[in-house]
């Protein structure tokens, strides 16, 4: 596929430095549950009701639904413009979701890909959504891959943006971001400028700080700012975000169409991971878009064109 290219400056920079594992088979993966049980949380996890925005061109979009998931520390508002574009171009309703512990969705101490997947499965059942396209960036990409491998009948196809079904080591910078956000909360800042000054020693790049600080809210006019995301829970879950719950492609496979989009300046989907992607997702297509890790914000035109072409292609 050919894509448009735009030289936009990234809104924020990657937080993870992947060290892709080339292991294919370790321990047996979780068996695929039957469709009748697909949306039920396991005994160890409680599915949460997720906040969302519906983009349906004022009710004119009537096709199969599209579900779009953000990355770590993001929210449904990150995907507002591309969601509107998909709804308008494809005449399909688009549900932009806040994953657990993000945006306006509930908080829970359990934050791993199984729990994230179960929440979205519950969302599909609650809203009676079938034959959906699942789109996810980074953390959202691993979430939709988990869903597809848990039960291929949950969706019609997937679009995974700049992540792969492998384990990836966290960058040493990442705990510093968490520490900085905790320092902000402890200081109880009254202004965005004060919060930025506190965070600066822990996140030197302005774009990174601006992105992290989008999560600041003021509960009441006279109260200090605080993060709407549970910083401590997410900090304790960093290792979970590096993992992937499936390790054996012989135990779980998604044989429907899948699109993997990677940024040309990103290292999240290294060439050595492609054989593993092919074993988990044997019908996958790969498209490189001129961007870093934050493909959607850095090059939205190319991203939208690539996804639209994939979804308009027929078998």
For the segment 155-202, what is each residue's pLDDT rounded down to a tens digit?
A: 999 999 999 999 976 556 778 889 999 999 999 999 999 999 999 999
Instruction: Tell me if 225 sits within 8 A of 217, measured CB to CB.
Output: yes
**Known catalytic membership, residue 70:** no
pTM for the full model?
Answer: 0.84
288-306 per-position pLDDT tens digit: 999 988 899 999 999 999 9
The set of residues, in sequence order, having a beta carbon less than 8 Å from that of 59 and lying 6+ positions away, is none
The set of residues, in sequence order, having a beta carbon less than 8 Å from that of 238 and lying 6+ positions away, is 170, 174, 175, 178
The set of residues, in sequence order, having a beta carbon less than 8 Å from that of 157 and lying 6+ positions away, is 133, 134, 256, 257, 258, 259, 310, 311
The per-residue pLDDT for 313 is 87
The per-residue pLDDT for 4 is 38
Q: Identify the structural domains of the chain with CATH numbers, from first to last.
A: 35-167+244-309 (3.40.50.1820), 173-236 (no CATH)
Between 286 and 176, the more confident residue is 286
Indicate whether 24 pLDDT > 50. no
The per-residue pLDDT for 207 is 81
The per-residue pLDDT for 59 is 92
**Known catalytic membership, residue 107:** no
Indicate whether 28 pLDDT > 50. no
Annotated active-site residue in 83, 138, 237, 266: 138
Indicate whether 26 pLDDT > 50. no
Q: State mean pLDDT over 140-159.
A: 97
Indicate whether 106 pLDDT > 70. yes
Q: State mean pLDDT over 109-138.
A: 97
């Amino acid at each position: 596929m050919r894509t448009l290219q735009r030289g936009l400056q990234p809104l924020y920079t990657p937080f993870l430095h992947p060290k892709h594992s080339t292991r294919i088979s370790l321990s047996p993966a979780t068996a695929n549950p039957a469709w009748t049980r697909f949306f039920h949380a396991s005994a160890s996890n409680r599915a949460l009701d997720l906040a969302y925005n519906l983009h349906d061109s004022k009710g004119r979009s009537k096709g199969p639904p599209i579900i779009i998931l953000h990355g770590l520390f993001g929210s449904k508002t990150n995907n507002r413009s591309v969601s509107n574009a998909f709804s308008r171009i494809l005449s399909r309703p688009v549900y932009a979701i806040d994953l657990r512990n993000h945006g306006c969705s509930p908080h829970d101490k359990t934050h791993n890909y199984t729990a994230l997947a179960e929440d979205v499965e519950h969302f599909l059942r609650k809203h009676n959504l079938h034959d959906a396209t699942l789109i996810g960036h980074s953390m959202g990409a691993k979430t939709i891959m988990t869903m597809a491998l848990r039960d291929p009948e949950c969706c019609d196809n997937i679009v995974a943006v700049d992540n792969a079904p492998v384990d990836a080591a966290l960058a040493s910078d990442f705990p510093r971001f968490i520490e900085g956000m905790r320092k902000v909360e402890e200081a109880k800042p009254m202004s965005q400028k004060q919060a930025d000054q506190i965070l600066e020693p822990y996140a030197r790049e302005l774009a990174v700080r601006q992105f992290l600080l989008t999560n600041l809210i003021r509960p009441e006019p006279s109260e200090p700012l605080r993060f709407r995301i549970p910083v401590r829970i997410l900090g304790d879950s960093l290792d979970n975000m590096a993992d992937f719950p499936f390790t054996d492609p012989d135990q779980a496979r998604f044989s429907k169409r899948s699109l993997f989009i990677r940024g040309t300046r990103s290292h999240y989907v290294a060439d050595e991971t492609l054989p593993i992607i092919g074993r988990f997702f044997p019908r996958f297509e790969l498209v490189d878009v001129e961007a870093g890790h934050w493909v959607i914000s850095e090059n939205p035109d190319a991203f939208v064109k690539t996804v639209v072409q994939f979804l308009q292609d027929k078998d």
